Amino acid sequence: MRLILVLVVLGVAVLGCGRFGASSGPVSNSSANTNASTTKVAKIVDMSQLVGKTAAEMNTILGQGKVNSTSVTYDIPQGFIIASFSKDKKVDSLTFTLNSSTADGKTLPGYQFAEELGQALGLTISGTPTSTTALGEKYEEYMLSGMKCEPTVKKIGKAYRDASLYCR
């Protein structure tokens, strides 16, 4: 009698745990993979659309900039953009720096992945960097507004906060 009772209890436990039967699927590790490509990131500014613009066009898009001897700095709510212009007075390099921000008394450092910063800035950043230096991680060149452009992102501390786009 004890043997039957033990077998019945064991049978109920096995069937009740959900690992067997028609409704159960294969057993797998279903932990979330935090991949930057699946993360939806809010757009800060579309740097790819600023390449080749004149200073007047940039002022219309970003507001009046502060003119320096070789560049113009544009303050935006999330950071600032420094634009350098070519001889024909069109943007050929852009640098974005994210402002420090705080929430619940903690400083939010930036983006965990280079791809996330690129997504927020409208830049195509994917794969492995073509080179890594003290200036940042350079990624594959691509064409924007008829110019070959090279994106570079920089990690400050543990987060990506700066991005540059050099075009020629």
- Taking only the tens place, the pLDDT of each residue in 56-83 is 999 999 999 999 888 999 999 999 999 9
Lookup: tokens for 118: 């690129």
Question: When comparing pLDDT for 58 and 158, which is higher?
Answer: 58
The pLDDT of residue 102 is 66
Q: Write out pLDDT tens, residues 4-42.
A: 544 444 444 444 444 444 444 333 333 333 444 566 889
**Residue 22 maps to a domain:** no
**Residue 56 maps to a domain:** yes
**Residue 135 maps to a domain:** yes
pLDDT at position 48 over 80: yes
How far is C-alpha 138 from the geometric centre of its chain's CA atoms?
A: 14
Please say whether the dihedral angle defined by the alpha carbons of residues 44, 47, 49 and 54, taken in this order, is positive or negative: positive
The pLDDT of residue 70 is 85
**Residue 15 maps to a domain:** no
How far is C-alpha 14 from the geometric centre of its chain's CA atoms?
A: 46
**Which pTM value belongs to this model?**
0.70
Question: When comparing pLDDT for 37 and 103, which is higher?
Answer: 103
**Residue 28 maps to a domain:** no
Q: What is the rounded CA–CA span in Å between residue 98 and residue 75? A: 10
Domain count, the chain: 1
The pLDDT of residue 108 is 66
Q: What is the rounded CA–CA span in Å between residue 26 and residue 29? A: 10
**Residue 85 maps to a domain:** yes
**Residue 19 maps to a domain:** no
**Residue 18 maps to a domain:** no
Domain residue limits at 45? 36-167
Count of helices and strands (H, E) across the chain: 3, 11
Q: What is the rounded CA–CA span in Å between residue 54 and residue 145? A: 12
CB 96 within 8 A of CB 51: no
